[in-house]
Chains A and B, each alone.
Chain A
Amino acid sequence: METRTLLTVTTSPHIREGSRTHLIMWFVSLALLPAALWGAVVFGWYSVWVLVTSIFSAVLAELAITALKGKITVPDGSAFLTGFLIGMNMPPSIPIYIPVCASVFAIAIVKQAFGGLGSNWMNPALAGRVFAMFSWSKSMTIWNMPSTLTGNSAVTQASGTAGDAITGASPLGIVKSGLLDMSVQADSPQALASQLQNIGGPLQFMLQKGYPVSQFDSNVTEWLNSVFHLGLSRGYVDLFFGNVAGCIGEISVFMLLIGAIFLFAKKIISWEIPASFLGSFALLVWIFGGTKFAMGMFTGDVLFHLLTGGLMLGVFFMATDYVTTPVTRKGMLIFGAGAGFLTFLIRLYGGLPEGVSLAIIIMNMFVPLIDKLTKPKVFGTRKAMKKGSAA
């Protein structure tokens, strides 16, 4: 007490929980890593280059703009994460200027122009992806077959060659264009219906179109069927582990789930949005999905739709973005259900094969409204209370 020490004076509380914004951002990036690694392994070095460039351009854009604004916010990890997500959402052989443009658009226009972290109303990464999708639709739909499948002879039937990579279509792309072709070529609706009925579902359709299945898939499927008697068709296992054409980071559901479990364990994401998103989507696909193959209601192939089209990446990593989703529990449930419904709508009845990105972005726009409508009743105002309600 002899020496006068200056004390810190703040308002209460004087203790706090451990989590910090920048930690949350870096943890989400960490959770993306397994899926990104899978993409890098099966698509090769060029996909790593796409990821690095996306991240680098996002961070550089953030650095330049926030330096102009006077407070550099790169260490908060959010620009890194946006760049990372954009890279994950790019086809593996994309011309490099596309992820660069998408990243700069996401950071400069969607995020910083609206005020930076916390003020953007649309998910920047998704906006970047959708921007690229509508600007360079051709390049954004050229897919590579993963190296785990290219040893398979069936590949050559389904694909041409572009450069040294073997390109193919994504499962949902094959189904959508295949169905379109059939309806164009069919002589009469009755003939189309009977043709469709012979197919039996999207996965079967995909396989009939010559989509390859790995030996690993066949082995695992056989084992699963013999042990659990599931009667599982070939192909699902490949979809689950990521032996499939698609964006760099979206193909391996397994790796994405590992990341999602990490985020749940860290309490960074909560169950509301994923549960209502997946729930409403699965329910609708189950009810109406079969009608696409003239099989009536309640016959949809839920598993196929859950495993394809970047749904898991969208559900766990982009629909759960704090900034662009509702703040209340009830609001989150509404948001997720809405996104599930829109994904279903776009995927089964719209012009685009996937639909997850657009569904989330459209729901982003409803967030202020949802927040307003789900405002909780303040304690003590919930019900008309009797004065002095003594017994």
Chain B
Amino acid sequence: MNGIKTFPKGGVHPHGNKKAISSQKISSSQPIKNAHVPSMAVIAMSQHIGKQAECTVAVGDEIKEGMLVGKASGFVSANIHSPIPGIVKSITEIYLPHGVKTKAIVLEFQGEFERSGKAFEKKTWIGMSPEELNGFVADMGIVGLGGATFPTHVKYTIKPEQKIDSLVINGVECEPFLTADHRLMLEKPDEILEGIEIVKAITGIRNVYIGIEENKTDAISHLKHKIQEKKLDYTVVSLKVKYPQGDEKMLLKAILGREVPSGGLPIDVGAIVSNVGTVFAVYEAIVWRKPLTERVITISGSGVKYPSNLKVRIGTKISEIIEECGGYRGKPGKIVLGGPMMGFAIADPDMPVTKGVSGILVFNEKDSFKFQNDPCIRCGRCIRACPWNLMPTLMYKEIENQDYTGALAMGLMDCKECGSCAFVCPSCIPLVQIFKYGKLLSSKK
């Protein structure tokens, strides 16, 4: 036993594969830099799971930096703040990466920064009540930055009958290419650890585990060192490099050995999972009263000149960020928001960054992979790759035959669309697409 943990079944190794397009974490040695301030910010009103935020500004309004521009509507929703000072040019509708339409504020940069570049006094939070602290988390519009963008204050609202004993911090970053969390752990360990203290204070959880894939040895030893220095009792858990190790249910299985029931949440097995980026945002929200208006993004892939990690303001156009990284290398073929395994390919590079964008990947034409949909030869690779123990090939046939009940009986709704099956499929069948389609149609019935 070398103490390295992982989930029991399935999974794939997208990093170690030399034949796949170079999917190495090429930007891991690039320190986080602040991106340019955009001259124009497009702020989507739906940047989180749940109800769209209510727009609180009108065309022509003068907006200050960090001002509330979208108000959470309902329990599962999140506030949205202005990333730059400026004037509201227009309020339009835009498409989000996953194809959903949303209202958006177009803000033209004007005026002065009141926060950026200024020194502030650190606010103490010791002695504040959990409700008060969680109130700040809600006010500052914090959402899960691992990709799911679930409103964080909702996750931290624990009902009295729920017994939670473990807080698992997700520093796995199992998606190829992405290095934003890795850099954050290297550069902001004190802040992350204080963020964890705050989350502990909000939720009242005792045990803290930080899960990191063992390819980030520097981050593991750095955090371990800091934890020892501060005399904290957090456990840093080294995890095997295997995708999708960073899925919260796989993470809980690996670290705590607990299996979240089908259709359930981590809370059902007494745990809460938060991404390191989210914890850092919580820290900033409480200690600096800073709303979530910027986030660390990895810009990488074969089609970008200088792969980097940038702290980008929400609302900045993707094309501007790519420009800042030296522009395209060769002819761009595909632009993906998020990681290569679960990210969304976009058609319009002028789309704005939202809170959920963890990476911007540009693939040049040669590496832009298209599905072929050759006949399934029943090789069973998808079944061996599926960490959820599903049978992707048989489920796919059910959906092809429009037998949605059959697909549901095979566990279609348990599919997390991690893409392991399609990654290994030698016939290049777009399995994830078929499952998304199947879920949509079967829910309509």
Binding site for B on A (CB under 8 A): 1, 5, 7-21, 23-24, 76, 116-119, 322-329, 332, 371, 375-383, 385, 387-391
Task: Check A12–B432 contact: CB distance below 8 A.
Answer: yes
B interface, by DSSP: helix, strand, loop or mixed? loop
Task: Check A379–B249 contact: CB distance below 8 A.
Answer: yes
From the candidates B17, B21, B375, name the one contacting A119 in the complex (CB within 8 A): B375
Please give me the residue from chain A that is nearest to B262 by CB atom. Answer: A380
Question: B132 at interface (Cβ–Cβ under 8 A)?
Answer: no
| Known pairs A323-B378, A380-B262; A388 contacts B427 (CB<8 A) | no
> Which residues from 391 to 445 on chain B have a C-beta closer than 8 Å to any C-beta of chain A?
391, 393-394, 410-411, 414, 417, 419, 422-428, 430, 432-433, 436
Task: Check B20–A385 contact: CB distance below 8 A.
Answer: no
Please give me the residue from chain B that is nearest to A380 by CB atom. Answer: B262
The docked-state distance in angstroms from the alpha carbon of A323 to that of B375 is: 10
The docked-state distance in angstroms from the alpha carbon of A19 to that of B12 is: 14
The docked-state distance in angstroms from the alpha carbon of A118 to that of B378 is: 7
**Closest Cβ–Cβ distance, residue B421 to chain A (whole Å):** 9
22 contacts between A and B (CB under 8 A): A5-B332, A7-B333, A10-B334, A10-B370, A12-B340, A12-B341, A12-B343, A17-B424, A19-B424, A21-B377, A23-B426, A76-B374, A117-B375, A322-B378, A328-B383, A332-B380, A379-B249, A379-B253, A379-B414, A380-B262, A385-B269, A389-B258
Task: Check A388–B19 contact: CB distance below 8 A.
Answer: no
A interface, by DSSP: helix, strand, loop or mixed? loop
Task: Check A7–B176 contact: CB distance below 8 A.
Answer: no
A390: chain B residues at CB < 8 Å are 163-165, 269-270
Task: Check B19–A379 contact: CB distance below 8 A.
Answer: no
Task: Check B163–A10 contact: CB distance below 8 A.
Answer: no
Task: Check A15–B340 contact: CB distance below 8 A.
Answer: yes
Task: Check B261–A385 contact: CB distance below 8 A.
Answer: yes
Task: Check B341–A13 contact: CB distance below 8 A.
Answer: yes
Question: B349 at interface (Cβ–Cβ under 8 A)?
Answer: yes
B105: chain A residues at CB < 8 Å are none
From the candidates B164, B380, B422, B426, name the one contacting A328 in the complex (CB within 8 A): B380
From the candidates A8, A17, A382, name the one contacting B334 in the complex (CB within 8 A): A8
A379-B389, A390-B270 provided; 4 other pairs, C-beta below 8 A? A21-B374, A323-B378, A378-B414, A380-B264
**Closest Cβ–Cβ distance, residue A111 to chain B (whole Å):** 11
B49: chain A residues at CB < 8 Å are none
**Closest Cβ–Cβ distance, residue A378 to chain B (whole Å):** 4
**Closest Cβ–Cβ distance, residue A217 to chain B (whole Å):** 39
| Known pairs A5-B332, A7-B334, A24-B379; A14 contacts B340 (CB<8 A) | yes
> Which residues from 313 to 370 on chain B have a C-beta closer than 8 Å to any C-beta of chain A?
319, 323, 327, 331-336, 338, 340-347, 349, 361, 363, 368-370
The docked-state distance in angstroms from the alpha carbon of A117 to that of B374 is: 9
B422: chain A residues at CB < 8 Å are 12-13, 16
Please give me the residue from chain B that is nearest to A378 by CB atom. Answer: B411
Task: Check A5–B261 contact: CB distance below 8 A.
Answer: no
A328: chain B residues at CB < 8 Å are 380, 383, 391
| Known pairs A7-B346, A328-B391, A379-B414; A118 contacts B262 (CB<8 A) | no
From the candidates A12, A18, A21, name the one contacting B419 in the complex (CB within 8 A): A12
**Closest Cβ–Cβ distance, residue B115 to chain A (whole Å):** 30
Query: What size tier do the contact residues of chain B reach?
Result: 35 or more
Please give me the residue from chain B that is nearest to A372 by CB atom. Answer: B394
Question: B178 at interface (Cβ–Cβ under 8 A)?
Answer: no
**Closest Cβ–Cβ distance, residue B300 to chain A (whole Å):** 12
| Known pairs A327-B391, A377-B389; A11 contacts B432 (CB<8 A) | yes
Task: Check A17–B19 contact: CB distance below 8 A.
Answer: yes
**Closest Cβ–Cβ distance, residue A86 to chain B (whole Å):** 19
**Closest Cβ–Cβ distance, residue A332 to chain B (whole Å):** 8
Question: B62 at interface (Cβ–Cβ under 8 A)?
Answer: no
B151-177 CB contact bits vs A (8 Å, 1 = yes)? Answer: 000000000011111000000000010
Please give me the residue from chain B that is nearest to A115 by CB atom. Answer: B375
Task: Check B423–A13 contact: CB distance below 8 A.
Answer: yes
The docked-state distance in angstroms from the alpha carbon of A381 to that of B23 is: 34
Task: Check A15–B176 contact: CB distance below 8 A.
Answer: yes
Question: B371 at interface (Cβ–Cβ under 8 A)?
Answer: yes
The docked-state distance in angstroms from the alpha carbon of A327 to that of B390 is: 12
Task: Check B19–A18 contact: CB distance below 8 A.
Answer: yes
The docked-state distance in angstroms from the alpha carbon of A9 to that of B417 is: 17
Once A and B bind, how many residue pairs between them come within 8 Å at the CB atom? Answer: 196
B419: chain A residues at CB < 8 Å are 12-13
B417: chain A residues at CB < 8 Å are 12
Task: Check B269–A382 contact: CB distance below 8 A.
Answer: no
From the candidates B268, B335, B344, B425, name the one contacting A12 in the complex (CB within 8 A): B344
| Known pairs A388-B268, A390-B165; A14 contacts B361 (CB<8 A) | yes
Task: Check B433–A14 contact: CB distance below 8 A.
Answer: no
Task: Check B346–A379 contact: CB distance below 8 A.
Answer: no
Task: Check B388–A8 contact: CB distance below 8 A.
Answer: no
Task: Check B433–A10 contact: CB distance below 8 A.
Answer: yes
The docked-state distance in angstroms from the alpha carbon of A20 to that of B424 is: 9
> Which residues from 1 to 45 on chain B have a C-beta closer than 8 Å to any C-beta of chain A?
9, 12, 14, 17, 19-21, 23
Please give me the residue from chain A that is nearest to B341 by CB atom. Answer: A13
The docked-state distance in angstroms from the alpha carbon of A87 to that of B347 is: 51
Task: Check B165–A327 contact: CB distance below 8 A.
Answer: no
**Closest Cβ–Cβ distance, residue B265 to chain A (whole Å):** 11
**Closest Cβ–Cβ distance, residue A216 to chain B (whole Å):** 40
**Closest Cβ–Cβ distance, residue A233 to chain B (whole Å):** 41
Interface centre among A15, A323, A329, A377 (most CB of B within 10 A): A15
Please give me the residue from chain A that is nearest to B436 by CB atom. Answer: A11
B238-268 CB contact bits vs A (8 Å, 1 = yes)? Answer: 0000000000010001000011111110011
Task: Check A389–B346 contact: CB distance below 8 A.
Answer: no
The docked-state distance in angstroms from the alpha carbon of A352 to that of B83 is: 81
Question: B227 at interface (Cβ–Cβ under 8 A)?
Answer: no
The docked-state distance in angstroms from the alpha carbon of A9 to that of B363 is: 12
Q: What 6 A-B pairs are tightest by C-beta distance, nearest first?
A: A18-B19, A390-B270, A13-B419, A380-B262, A390-B163, A118-B375
Question: B384 at interface (Cβ–Cβ under 8 A)?
Answer: yes
The docked-state distance in angstroms from the alpha carbon of A9 to that of B332 is: 12
The docked-state distance in angstroms from the alpha carbon of A323 to that of B376 is: 8
Task: Check B270–A389 contact: CB distance below 8 A.
Answer: yes
Question: B85 at interface (Cβ–Cβ under 8 A)?
Answer: no
A388: chain B residues at CB < 8 Å are 161-163, 267-270
A1: chain B residues at CB < 8 Å are 319, 323, 327, 349
| Known pairs A14-B334, A16-B20, A17-B20; A117 contacts B377 (CB<8 A) | yes
Please give me the residue from chain A that is nearest to B243 by CB atom. Answer: A13
A17: chain B residues at CB < 8 Å are 12, 14, 17, 19-20, 423-424, 426
Please give me the residue from chain A that is nearest to B417 by CB atom. Answer: A12
Task: Check B426–A14 contact: CB distance below 8 A.
Answer: no
The docked-state distance in angstroms from the alpha carbon of A375 to that of B394 is: 10
Task: Check A12–B342 contact: CB distance below 8 A.
Answer: yes
**Closest Cβ–Cβ distance, residue B339 to chain A (whole Å):** 8
The docked-state distance in angstroms from the alpha carbon of A18 to that of B249 is: 28
The docked-state distance in angstroms from the alpha carbon of A34 to that of B435 is: 42
The docked-state distance in angstroms from the alpha carbon of A385 to that of B271 is: 14
| Known pairs A14-B336, A328-B383, A376-B391; A381 contacts B341 (CB<8 A) | no
A9: chain B residues at CB < 8 Å are 334, 345-347
**Closest Cβ–Cβ distance, residue A227 to chain B (whole Å):** 40
Please give me the residue from chain A that is nearest to B327 by CB atom. Answer: A1
A119: chain B residues at CB < 8 Å are 375
B130-164 CB contact bits vs A (8 Å, 1 = yes)? Answer: 00000000000000000000000000000001111
